[in-house]
């Protein structure tokens, strides 16, 4: 049943886009087909030269602009500032939401009004949309957020209460590859409240042109820069000692994650082709 009642909070979805015409229509349809009446979809395009604009023109419900920007973080900030929703989602133009995602998010926020950031489970898919792996996630953990070798809170399955942006929290545009890690870490340090919903909300697509696939080393460099910004203990250590301490903390964080996932039986639900970590 389509949820149209204004008692359900308005959801704003922000999609940054640049030459993702191969995937963006599937992204748009995943929002449009949510069967949720109170939403807006804002697409900030960086001046695409492929078929993206012709696809955007097909959908009258979209709010979109195509203009030069200073990168993905700048595009997202433009969208966050335009959003009118009570809840704001970040959906990249090569990912998509799973059915009933919005209903789940809206109900969870309504039942937990003190939550600021809500993140769920997600799936990995390949270029053609074939399922690669199911990723059941854990409740928020500051230690793992800081020191794990990867960001375990997926932006594609994360939603924000609008007070995050009303209180002037936006992405740091100097980050091009780890803007999500820096943003989540900054929000956590400020004391914003994270919560996890144990439901599969979205699909993250792996393909050759994705930043996660093509620039993992740059992403790691930016993660380390952000960590030093928000971890005064590591920052004060001499560089040779700091490297060893960081490696030790990462090992502890990985072990903690493995143990917690194993205790919950998550690895049996992985449908994995490769690592389940």
> How many folded domains does the chain comprise?
1
> Does pLDDT of 100 surpass 60?
yes
* pLDDT score at 149: 83
What is the average pLDDT across 126-136?
91
Please check whether residue 182 lies inside any domain of the structure. Answer: yes
Rg (CA), the chain: 18
Please check whether residue 94 lies inside any domain of the structure. Answer: yes
* pLDDT score at 215: 67
Please check whether residue 177 lies inside any domain of the structure. Answer: yes
Residue 5's pLDDT band, with cuts at 50, 70 and 90, is very low
* pLDDT score at 265: 84
* pLDDT score at 266: 80
What is the average pLDDT across 42-67?
97
What range does the domain containing 81 cover? 11-269
* pLDDT score at 33: 95
* pLDDT score at 7: 75
> Does pLDDT of 96 surpass 90?
yes
* pLDDT score at 48: 95
Q: Over the stretch 75-86, which tens digit does the pLDDT of each residue have?
A: 999 999 999 999
* pLDDT score at 63: 98
* pLDDT score at 270: 58
Please check whether residue 276 lies inside any domain of the structure. Answer: no
Calpha distance 111→200 (Å, rounded): 19
* pLDDT score at 258: 92
> Does pLDDT of 4 surpass 60?
no
* pLDDT score at 272: 45
What is the average pLDDT across 211-227?
82
* pLDDT score at 79: 98
What is the average pLDDT across 129-144?
93
Residue 12's pLDDT band, with cuts at 50, 70 and 90, is very high
Please check whether residue 5 lies inside any domain of the structure. Answer: no
What is the average pLDDT across 103-113?
96
Instruction: Kindly report which listed range (6-10, 122-126, 233-237) carries the lowest average pLDDT score.
Output: 6-10
Please check whether residue 2 lies inside any domain of the structure. Answer: no
CA 183 to chain centre: 10
What is the average pLDDT across 117-138?
93
* pLDDT score at 1: 38
> Does pLDDT of 264 surpass 90?
no
Please check whether residue 220 lies inside any domain of the structure. Answer: yes
Q: What is the CATH number of the domain that holds 72?
A: 3.90.550.10
- For the chain, the average pLDDT equals 91
Q: Over the stretch 159-218, which tens digit does the pLDDT of each residue have?
A: 999 999 999 999 999 999 999 999 999 999 999 999 999 999 999 998 666 655 556 788
């Amino acid at each position: 049943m389509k949820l149209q009642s204004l008692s359900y909070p308005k959801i704003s979805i922000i999609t940054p886009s640049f030459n993702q015409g191969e995937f963006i229509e599937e992204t748009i349809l995943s929002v449009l087909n949510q069967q949720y009446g109170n939403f807006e979809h804002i697409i900030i395009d960086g001046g695409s030269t492929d078929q993206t604009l012709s696809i955007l023109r097909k959908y009258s419900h979209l709010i979109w602009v195509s203009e030069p920007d200073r990168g993905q973080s700048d595009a997202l900030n433009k969208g966050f500032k335009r959003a009118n929703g009570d809840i704001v989602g970040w959906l990249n133009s090569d990912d998509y939401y799973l059915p009933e995602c919005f209903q789940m998010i809206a109900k969870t926020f309504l039942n937990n009004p003190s939550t600021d950031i809500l993140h769920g489970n997600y799936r990995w898919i390949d270029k053609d949309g074939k399922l690669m792996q199911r990723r059941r996630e854990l409740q928020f953990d500051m230690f793992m957020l800081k020191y794990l070798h990867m960001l375990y809170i997926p932006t594609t399955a994360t939603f924000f209460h609008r007070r995050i942006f009303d209180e002037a929290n936006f992405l740091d545009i100097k980050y091009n590859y780890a803007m999500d890690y820096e943003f989540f870490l900054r929000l956590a340090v400020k004391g914003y409240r994270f919560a996890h919903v144990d439901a599969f909300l979205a699909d993250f697509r792996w393909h050759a042109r994705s930043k996660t696939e093509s620039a993992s080393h740059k992403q790691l460099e930016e993660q380390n820069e952000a960590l030093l910004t928000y971890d005064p203990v590591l920052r004060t250590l001499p560089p040779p000692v700091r490297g060893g301490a960081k490696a030790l903390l990462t090992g502890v964080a990985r072990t903690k994650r493995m143990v917690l996932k194993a205790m919950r039986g998550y690895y049996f639900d992985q449908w994995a082709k490769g690592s389940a970590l």
